[in-house]
Structure 1
Amino acid sequence: MSFAEFLHQVGSMGRFQIIHTMLLTIPIVLMASHNLLQNFTAAIPGHHCQVHIDANNTRYPNATLRLDSQDLLRVAIPMDGNRQPEKCRRFVTTQWQLLDPNVTESNGTQLDTEPCTEGWTYDRSMFTSTIVTEWDLVCNLRKFQQMAQSIYMAGVLLGALVLGGLSDRFGRKAMLIWSFLQMAVMGTCTAFSPSYISYCIFRFLGGMAQSGFGLSIACLIVEWIPTEFRTITIAITGFVYTLGQILLAGLAYGIPDWRWLQLTVSLPFFFFLIYSWWFAESARWLVLAGKADRAVKVLQRVARVNGKREEGEKITTELNLTRLHTQQDAHSSLCLSLCMVNGRFSTSFSYYGLAMDLQNFGISIYLIQLIFGAVDFPAKVVVTISMSYIGRRVTLSAFLLLAGLVIIANIFVPRELQIVRTSLAVIGKGCLSAAFNCVFLFTTELYPTPIRQTGLGFGSTMARVGGIVAPLAKMLDEYFSFLPPVVYGAAPIISGIVATFLPETLNQPLPDTVEEVESRLVCFAELLDHVGGMGRFQIIYAILLAIPVFMMASHNLLQNFTAATSEHHCHVHININNTPYTNLTGKLAAKDLLRVSIPMDSNLQPEKCHRFVTMQWQLLDSNATVTNLTELETEPCADGWVYDKSIFTSTIITEWDLVCDSRKLKQMAQSIYMAGILAGGILFGGLSDRYGRRSLLIWCYLQMAVTGTCTAFSPSFTAYCIFRFLTGMAFSGIVMNGVSLSVEWTPTRTRAVVGTMYGYCYTIGQFILAGVAYAIPNWRWLQLVVSLPYFICFIYSWWFAESARWLVIAGRPDEAVKQLKRVARINRKKEEGDKLNIDVLRSNMQKEIASAKSSHTFIDLVRTPVVRRISFCLCFVWFSTSFAYYGLAMDLQNFGVNIFLIQLVFGAVDFPAKFISVLTISFIGRRFTQALTLILAGLSILANIFVPQDLKTLRTVLAVFGKGCLAASFNCVYLYTSELYPTVIRQTGMGLSNTMARLGSIIAPLVKMLEEYIPFLPLLIYGAAPIISGIAATFLPETLNVPLPETIEEVETRHLRDEEQQMKILLKPTMPDPAKEAS
């Protein structure tokens, strides 16, 4: 019996469904209020600079009693191109002569002006208070208005990712209740925000909650409503959202203070929280979550409410209710991969954010390198104990959270407290090092043998993305000094939370098939114990694999030394005597010569990037002041630079002058190296699953030795970057293949110890790097010294044994037997090894051998062709609908019409739009409606490009029509998405769709800024996106009058059945009629 039949049995559209739907739709009224609230709470009133005189008979309280307001503004504020008072500048002094009628506008524009240093005067006739007037988000700060909305939409984006997935795990009802509470609390806190920053934080959290209850409401409605009533029910929710827009206009008109308006639209969520406990959990979800008994109770409750008690009592768990329980764990591997990717990215990102910034700690670079290395010892002792006795999951999560917290704590420590700042950074680095130790082991234990290397490559890919982004993120301190530590700290905190969703692997055998990730069956582990467990072979093997790890830190952190930036200043025409600099004369002291040649910066140190055009001998006069100095003519360093070579005799900075305008190339070189590691993770991860771990490891040793040596002889910066890129690729291959070989030959009980040993080798490598770099101050020799040892590793690597696990999975059991016998001999278990043969191996590893014949994958949303096509098309549709919708809906002030009126019009147009969409959805189909509304919306937006600005009515009509089409598109896509995805991944699919929608809404206000450069560009983008998506929507399957699918297979088979029916229709006219032929 299908779920639809169960629903019909207990009352398909009875009293329960009506009450349930009504209560769920009430909160939707206020969804518009939060999504579009900033049209009013962040409205920009008319404003001009505060002036020194007071206005009379005007709404501005700062002009005198002598003149009328127009004349006073004329003498105090310059006029813009529209002959309106400038918003961001005022005259330096009051220009009374402008009252003379003979003075023209051109005369006025030549007068000295200045920014609004004393603040602004706002027109409060419409809004008594907005966040713009409260925090002066105008002129240079005007972009913060758009940023606030983007931050809110970013919260909605994150909510779709986080709460969408959580509802698939914990249930729709639980997440709905939580989201109501979060919205109520965060919305209320927003109204009491003491600053712009806290406002954005609360809005972000409110956005998360909005996404959470929006998704849960959609699922609870759809999963309790029968197919024939689904369209009208979703239409009702759309109309309710439309009412919310109209309600918002009324509320905003009646409440002109932004804090009271924010409070008014937030407090009702406390009421929604109270009655939400009455809601029934989705019975579909309960079945798929393995809670069939609870599903029966819920269905019986629905039957009682619908007056069908007797029918409800007949339902039991034995009545094939569990038939729906298929594929409930199909997306568990997706969660696993996403969690591990998050952890690998954040660990690498923050680790290199700290480790590649040694020069900024104000301490000897060698000392800090030693300290950073030394902290790994206690960190890795603790992580080993924790992994062995507490577990991998808790360990990884705890170290990531602690690392993030100490990095963020450094933001609040003054820069002069260098010891405290360094101590916190060292603790953070130690925690990240411990997290690295844990995540490497954890990853190998979580992934099964057929895809272990691919999984490691995937994880390594994201780790390297983190490594690439880390030095680039450091550049942000040129704009906000606190931003890099915030980013570096937030990433591991988020990943630490995400890591709690990973399964525990403590004392679990290594899985050999995808199915074994769930079942954890013991197969190969028994064979490994049979030939010696952790014997002499494993010890020698681990030691030989560990030796190259010593040099890995040298390559990862090498640019701390080879690309160190020495003190420098412009090359001048005379030489300094008795100093490390060799190019000045001995006539004057070095200090005096620099004074007459190089200007001083704000710290009274020689400028690094400019010099005086001519020698300023007068500056030797003690009466010359710093003020005089700043007025002298300077020029860039046309003749190059002089470097302090007392610490480094040569670096890539001094050799290729990567300073001043070229200083970003230093960071680029490290990012290119990390990009090589990224490429290596992608390339070598897949190749080693195909050609074996040993073969790829040998190749990577050779590549590391050759390209590392070539780097030392680079003739140019471009060649240097190319060789470093190839070195990074080799590094990635060594790490992945070395870890896989070690883990796959090591028993479960000693795996943590061996993994920790490799961690210590990396730690010691950091000590080695500090010592070698101190002894070899020339970057080329240093590069050569850390690269040549890999030739030795290449030579002895031929002794390594290929992974027997991989050989079995690759369909080469005879070679696996040979390797196991070899291991047995070395471990002095020759008799046990002689008993092994292919038959014994096959009997112990039947599932592993069978798994080699089938493909494996993680992501259910793109695993099968039909669902994959659905996912891609819906991503386009959701993104474009939201992108264009908010591009119009968040720009009300630019229509030149009363903002309240345009809000009412924008809300009112939804009624006919959604009514028409309901008709077309119900009688024509979802696909046609979706494509048509998107294409019409795009065309109407594009048409506005060709309408002159002075035809405001026509422009507004086109915009309103486009907005109505987009509202109808939203109405359709919510229903369409829930019908296209099967129950097992419906919430995840909707989470993905909403993620794309929120991405569109985040980008929409940012795209609006492009009009400062090309006025028509925003409209072009807003219009093109829905047209493209409308075309993509035509590739979606139709769902009119089709029951909700329960499983992925059902979606796939339904598509095949539809294709077969279409083929029959196409072939029918050409088929001969047997009856006619007989006659």
Structure 2
Amino acid sequence: MRDYDTSVAFLGEWGRFQVIVFFMLCSTILPNGTSSFSLVFVADTPAHHCLVPEVNLSQEWRETVIPMEEVNGELARSQCRRYRLDKVRNLSEMGVVPGRDVNLSSLEQEDCLDGWNYSRQLYQSTAVSEFDLVCNKRWRQPLTVTIFFLGVLVESFFSGVLSDRFGRKPVLFGTSVIQSVFSLALLASPSWEVFCVLLFCSGLGNISNYLSCYVLGTEILTGNARVVYASIGVFVAFAFGYMMLPLFAYFLRTWTGLTMANALLGILYMPLWWFLPESPMWLLSQGRVAEAETIVRKAAKMNRVEAPEKIFADYIINAETPEETFVQRYTLLDLLRRKRVAATTFIMTFLWFSQSLSYYGLTLNTSQLHSDPYISCFLSAVVELPAYFGTCFAVRFLPRRLAFLLTCLVSALSLFFIPLLPQSVLGVAVALEMLGKFAITAGTSILYFYCAELYPTGLRNTSTGMCSMGSRIGGCIAPFVLQLNFYVKHLTYVTMGSMAVLSAFPLLFMPESFGRPLPETLEQMPKTQRLKCSCIARREPSKHVMESKL
């Protein structure tokens, strides 16, 4: 039986059909880049201090009523405490001058009983200022971000199964609608609790459209077009969407305006439903040979090439010889039923968890890197571009395990060096963090490519969704990992660097997919090989030679 790539080789790799599909799919990724990290601004905590109501206070006492406290070795106004207002008012009415007639350290303090005054220098409003997620409610801020990623986690479990069962295209557009609708519903949230419920629902549609789009492109495109799409196209489109985020946030300045912009951006590409085809490879895995041939014949017409009389003759189901049928229907249990496949899935899930913990940790930390969070976020987005182009080079010439190992080493070294730097060289620390972000971004994109190459067509989206669940768990934990710095300085960087080191060891037990065609059955999945140390591996023949039992 010929493999799919051989069957459609007459189309070429970069015809008109492939170019149009390439750019349409990339355009659907843009909203993911803006919405996935919008919480960097939506849930950021602006500078604040206790609100002082309009009471009879002298100018001296009004400027002194907020006590000073030491923060990172510097004196700053307290964010959560003030001097007892009734005492201060009495002293003001008596004409007592603060600091001269009374020792401020002897005055009794109290919580912010009248609310908070939030700085509008950076933001007009955020979810934190909207629902007062500060001081004794400070724990709600990272929990808000975690709830969003919990929605993404739950979605990852079901979307892969749905995509392999009902198709890549319905899941791609269906989850996009879910994300846009619930993002708009967030604007009407009357309380933090309702906001979190709607944010969870918005997370249900956040990343599955990305995964479905990724798998759809890798199955429609072949050869060099597939490599460019899977290693550059998808990720560069995501990076451009990410780069648009700080621009939207800078000009809108409110969490409601930014949320609405993200939702409307997702709605704009809905008309592509009538132009994007379903994956012919998936249709073949479901036995829908006629539909797959119709799509490929339209592609041949667009590319102005002549299609053979029977494109998928080897795939036609013969009722008299069912053992020769190509249709392979898999379920989620097939990832766990065979020992070697289960081990591969478990290790891949851990790798996604480790990379995601560091990736989202560094991404969510961008608002703390620079005095201007818009610049920090833009730099964090820009650094992803060279990472993706580096990934394109890596997946073309390097074995997947070796390429991923190199990213682990670079990210670990850069993150471990940050705590060793003195406070005076902040620019070097930011550069090292960007280097770590570069390596982790490259490693994450390699994992997408690696995972798509390991699993057969009938399980490709299910396996990607299953493995990406580890990524979502990492995203859920990342906001709380950032809080470690409040207890032990630089503990966040040490934790993320340690996870990068731990990710290197399981690679010894992973199979290598470099130079092999996409598997269409479990029997064609590559098996574990020794990790090669050569810089460039020799490509294997593009035929299915993996016939050993799993």
TM-score, normalised to structure 2's length? Answer: 0.88
Report what 1:306 is aligned to: 303
Which blocks of at least 5 consecutive residues in structure 2 are unaligned?
Answer: 318-322, 534-550
- Verify: 1:218 aligned to 2:214, yes or no: yes
- TM-superposed CA distance for 1:53, in Å, is 4.1
**5 Å matches for 1:364-443?**
none
Question: C-alpha distance in 2, partners of 1:994/1:311?
Answer: 38
**Mean CA deviation greater in 1041-1050 or 926-935:** 926-935
- Compared CA separation, residues 176 and 218, structure 1 to 2 (3 A): same
Q: Is the 8 A contact 2:287 2:326 kept in 1?
A: no
- TM-superposed CA distance for 1:1027, in Å, is 1.6
| Of 300, 315, 328, the match for 1:320 | 315
- TM-superposed CA distance for 1:885, in Å, is 0.7
Question: C-alpha distance in 1, partners of 2:112/2:423?
Answer: 30
| Of 260, 265, 278, the match for 1:281 | 278
- Verify: 1:994 aligned to 2:462, yes or no: no
Question: C-alpha distance in 1, partners of 2:410/2:101?
Answer: 52
**5 Å matches for 1:17-32?**
17-32=18-33
- Compared CA separation, residues 19 and 304, structure 1 to 2 (3 A): same
**5 Å matches for 1:797-816?**
none
Residue identity opposite 2:329 in structure 1? D
Residue identity opposite 2:242 in structure 1? Q
- Verify: 1:231 aligned to 2:224, yes or no: no
Deviations 1:281-311, CA, capped at 9 Å, x for gaps: 1111111122222222222222222223x31
- Verify: 1:1005 aligned to 2:469, yes or no: no
| Of 58, 64, 67, the match for 1:75 | 64
Residue identity opposite 1:935 in structure 2? L
Deviations 1:190-222, CA, capped at 9 Å, x for gaps: 233332222222221221111220111011011
Report what 1:120 is aligned to: 116
| Of 1021, 1024, 1027, the match for 2:501 | 1027
Report what 1:1055 is aligned to: 527
Report what 1:885 is aligned to: 359
Deviations 1:24-47, CA, capped at 9 Å, x for gaps: 111322212112111111221111
Report what 1:876 is aligned to: 350
Report what 1:770 is aligned to: none
Residue identity opposite 1:83 in structure 2? L
- TM-superposed CA distance for 1:251, in Å, is 1.0
Residue identity opposite 2:131 in structure 1? W
| Of 148, 157, 178, the match for 1:152 | 148
Residue identity opposite 1:170 in structure 2? F
Question: C-alpha distance in 1, partners of 2:248/2:142?
Answer: 22
| Of 67, 78, 86, the match for 1:86 | 78
Report what 2:439 is aligned to: 965
Report what 1:290 is aligned to: 287
- Compared CA separation, residues 1041 and 321, structure 1 to 2 (3 A): farther
Question: C-alpha distance in 2, partners of 1:325/1:29?
Answer: 39
Question: C-alpha distance in 2, partners of 1:18/1:320?
Answer: 27
Greater RCO between the two (CA within 8 Å, min separation 6)? 2
- Compared CA separation, residues 294 and 46, structure 1 to 2 (3 A): same
| Of 409, 422, 441, the match for 1:948 | 422
- Compared CA separation, residues 272 and 872, structure 1 to 2 (3 A): same
- Compared CA separation, residues 1042 and 146, structure 1 to 2 (3 A): same
- Compared CA separation, residues 275 and 1041, structure 1 to 2 (3 A): same
Q: Is the 8 A contact 2:66 2:83 kept in 1?
A: yes
Report what 2:107 is aligned to: 111
Question: C-alpha distance in 2, partners of 1:176/1:140?
Answer: 40
| Of 124, 136, 141, the match for 1:140 | 136
SS at match of 2:82: strand
- Compared CA separation, residues 907 and 316, structure 1 to 2 (3 A): closer
- TM-superposed CA distance for 1:78, in Å, is 1.1
Question: C-alpha distance in 1, partners of 2:434/2:350?
Answer: 23
Deviations 1:603-646, CA, capped at 9 Å, x for gaps: xxxxxxxxxxxxxxxxxxxxxxxxxxxxxxxxxxxxxxxxxxxx
Question: C-alpha distance in 2, partners of 1:270/1:175?
Answer: 15
Report what 2:320 is aligned to: none
Q: Is the 8 A contact 2:286 2:327 kept in 1?
A: no
- TM-superposed CA distance for 1:912, in Å, is 2.1
| Of 474, 482, 488, the match for 1:1014 | 488
Report what 2:377 is aligned to: 903
Question: C-alpha distance in 1, partners of 2:378/2:503?
Answer: 28
Residue identity opposite 1:256 in structure 2? R
Report what 1:16 is aligned to: 17
- Compared CA separation, residues 282 and 53, structure 1 to 2 (3 A): same
Q: Is the 8 A contact 1:928 1:1034 kept in 2?
A: no
- TM-superposed CA distance for 1:325, in Å, is 5.2
SS at match of 2:226: helix
Q: Matched residues, percent identical? A: 28
Residue identity opposite 2:270 in structure 1? L
Deviations 1:114-156, CA, capped at 9 Å, x for gaps: 1111111111122111111111111111111111110111111
Report what 2:127 is aligned to: 131
- TM-superposed CA distance for 1:3, in Å, is 0.6
- Compared CA separation, residues 279 and 215, structure 1 to 2 (3 A): same
Q: Is the 8 A contact 1:873 1:1029 kept in 2?
A: no
Question: C-alpha distance in 2, partners of 1:293/1:137?
Answer: 56
Question: C-alpha distance in 2, partners of 1:876/1:953?
Answer: 33
Question: C-alpha distance in 2, partners of 1:955/1:200?
Answer: 34
Question: C-alpha distance in 2, partners of 1:287/1:922?
Answer: 27
Q: Is the 8 A contact 1:931 1:1034 kept in 2?
A: no
- TM-superposed CA distance for 1:911, in Å, is 2.0
SS at match of 2:304: coil
- Compared CA separation, residues 177 and 145, structure 1 to 2 (3 A): same
Residue identity opposite 1:213 in structure 2? N
**Mean CA deviation greater in 133-142 or 95-104:** 95-104
| Of 921, 932, 956, the match for 2:406 | 932
Residue identity opposite 1:320 in structure 2? Y
- TM-superposed CA distance for 1:324, in Å, is 9.2
SS at match of 2:76: coil
Report what 1:258 is aligned to: 255
- Verify: 1:176 aligned to 2:165, yes or no: no
- Compared CA separation, residues 175 and 109, structure 1 to 2 (3 A): same
Report what 2:541 is aligned to: none
- TM-superposed CA distance for 1:327, in Å, is 6.8
- Compared CA separation, residues 324 and 123, structure 1 to 2 (3 A): farther
**Mean CA deviation greater in 1010-1019 or 902-911:** 1010-1019
- TM-superposed CA distance for 1:997, in Å, is 0.3
Q: Is the 8 A contact 2:345 2:463 kept in 1?
A: yes
- TM-superposed CA distance for 1:1039, in Å, is 2.6
TM-score, normalised to structure 1's length? Answer: 0.46
SS at match of 1:44: coil
Residue identity opposite 1:192 in structure 2? A
Report what 2:204 is aligned to: 208
**5 Å matches for 1:236-247?**
236-247=233-244
- TM-superposed CA distance for 1:244, in Å, is 1.7
Q: Is the 8 A contact 1:877 1:1026 kept in 2?
A: no
- TM-superposed CA distance for 1:268, in Å, is 2.0
- Compared CA separation, residues 1034 and 918, structure 1 to 2 (3 A): farther
Residue identity opposite 2:342 in structure 1? R
CA RMSD of aligned residues (A): 2.5
Residue identity opposite 2:278 in structure 1? E
Deviations 1:506-543, CA, capped at 9 Å, x for gaps: xxxxxxxxxxxxxxxxxxxxxxxxxxxxxxxxxxxxxx
Q: Is the 8 A contact 1:75 1:98 kept in 2?
A: no
Report what 1:1077 is aligned to: none
Question: C-alpha distance in 1, partners of 2:130/2:324?
Answer: 56
Report what 1:191 is aligned to: 187
Q: How many residues align?
A: 516
- Verify: 1:860 aligned to 2:334, yes or no: yes
